[in-house]
């Protein structure tokens, strides 16, 4: 299982959003590149970078900071936030992104998702954010008619590399819902699932690492707040049984 340290950028600053509230960011006294370097030095094999201004407005807004990480961090970078057109997607791919994460576009423009997978096979990840078993988009502000499993299955054959499933109830510190939907999504999909929103302790990392079909975990706030030691998390995650061991 891969641990994806998450770096969120808003107005060029490194922040984390507690409860997904764009107007209440928690800022950290570090640059995006320094945070990325710290994570890589601790053993990160992949980085997950979110352009929060892109989430809110579409398009690319923190490109200079993100491109510096892509160019110099020395590990693959997964870019998320505001990628809703082929032009924006192509721009990120041309500038070295290893993977692009599509969120709101998954609901608004399924044809775009299919085209993206066609032109960039194994490089497109879809992000599904859910609250009370209902998919929400536009930075968690707009509910849709989809359940996360319905939406994921509708795109399963499009050729996506993975699904990032964010349990918003867990992100809102409602632990009783932490693993139920994540487990269901992972069990019922054939494509790899990356968990987000549930890993706040090393015990959570251990639990995720033993769930079938969980290929990774996105971890942000817990790393910045030093609730999870990245090196220890990577060590635990690397002990995940292979798929054959589940059979």
Please report, for the chain, the start and end positions of each structural domain, with discontinuous segments joined by +. 2-239
Q: Which CATH number fits domain 2-239: 3.40.630.30, 3.20.20.10, 3.40.50.2000, 3.20.20.70?
A: 3.20.20.70
Distance from C-alpha of 20 to C-alpha of 216, rounded to nearest angstrom:
21
Query: Cβ–Cβ contacts within 10 Å for residue 142, how many?
Result: 12
23's CB contacts (< 8 A; 6+ apart) are none
Q: What is the pLDDT of residue 234?
A: 98
Q: Which residues are catalytic?
A: 8, 129
Give the pLDDT band of residue 244 (cuts 50, 70, 90): very low
Give the pLDDT band of residue 247 (cuts 50, 70, 90): very low
Alpha carbon separation from 212 to 77, 124, 150, 198 (Å, rounded): 25, 22, 19, 16
Residue pointed to by tokens 């775009």 = 112
- For 149, the enclosing helix (H) or strand (E) is helix 148-154
What would the mean pLDDT of 225-242 be, rounded to a whole number?
88
Separation of first and last alpha carbons in the chain:
17
Least confident span in 81-85, 172-176, 190-194, 229-233: 172-176
Q: What is the pLDDT of residue 21?
A: 64
Q: What is the pLDDT of residue 169?
A: 72
Give the pLDDT band of residue 236 (cuts 50, 70, 90): very high
Entry field: residues in the chain? 247
Q: What is the pLDDT of residue 203?
A: 94
Contact 5, 230 (CB under 8 A): yes
Distance from C-alpha of 37 to C-alpha of 196, rounded to nearest angstrom:
22
- For 131, the enclosing helix (H) or strand (E) is strand 124-131
Tokens standing for residue 78: 């997964």
Sign for the CA dihedral angle at 169, 194, 198, 55 comes to negative
What would the mean pLDDT of 90-100 be, rounded to a whole number?
97
Q: What is the pLDDT of residue 87?
A: 95
What would the mean pLDDT of 97-110 be, rounded to a whole number?
94
Distance from C-alpha of 60 to C-alpha of 54, rounded to nearest angstrom:
5
Tokens standing for residue 97: 């992104």
196's CB contacts (< 8 A; 6+ apart) are 6, 127, 164, 165, 166, 167, 217, 218
The radius of gyration computed from the CA coordinates of the chain, to the nearest angstrom, equals 16
Helices (H), 95-167: 104-108, 110-119, 148-154
Least confident span in 14-23, 43-52, 232-241: 14-23
pLDDT surpasses 50 at 243: no
Contact 92, 60 (CB under 8 A): yes
């Amino acid at each position: 299982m891969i641990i994806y340290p998450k770096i969120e950028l808003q107005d060029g600053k490194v922040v984390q959003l507690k409860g997904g509230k764009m107007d209440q960011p928690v800022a950290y006294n570090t640059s995006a590149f320094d945070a990325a370097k710290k994570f890589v030095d601790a053993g990160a094999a992949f980085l997950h970078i979110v352009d929060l201004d892109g989430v809110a407005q579409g398009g690319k807004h923190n490109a200079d900071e993100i491109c510096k990480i892509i160019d110099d961090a020395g590990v693959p970078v997964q870019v998320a936030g505001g990628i809703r057109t082929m032009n924006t997607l192509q721009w990120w791919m041309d500038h070295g992104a290893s993977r692009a994460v599509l969120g709101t576009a998954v609901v608004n423009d399924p044809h775009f998702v299919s085209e993206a997978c066609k032109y960039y096979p194994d490089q497109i990840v879809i992000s599904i954010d859910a609250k009370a078993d209902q998919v929400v988009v536009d930075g968690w502000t707009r509910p849709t008619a989809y359940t996360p499993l319905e939406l994921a299955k509708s795109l399963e054959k499009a050729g996506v590399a993975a699904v990032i499933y964010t349990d918003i109830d867990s992100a809102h510190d409602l632990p009783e819902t932490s693993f139920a939907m994540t487990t269901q999504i992972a069990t019922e999909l054939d494509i790899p699932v990356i968990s987000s929103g549930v890993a706040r302790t090393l015990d959570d990392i251990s639990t995720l690492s033993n769930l079938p079909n969980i290929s990774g975990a996105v971890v942000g706030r817990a790393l910045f707040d030093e609730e999870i030691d990245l090196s220890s998390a990577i060590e635990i995650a690397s002990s995940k049984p292979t798929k054959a061991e589940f059979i």
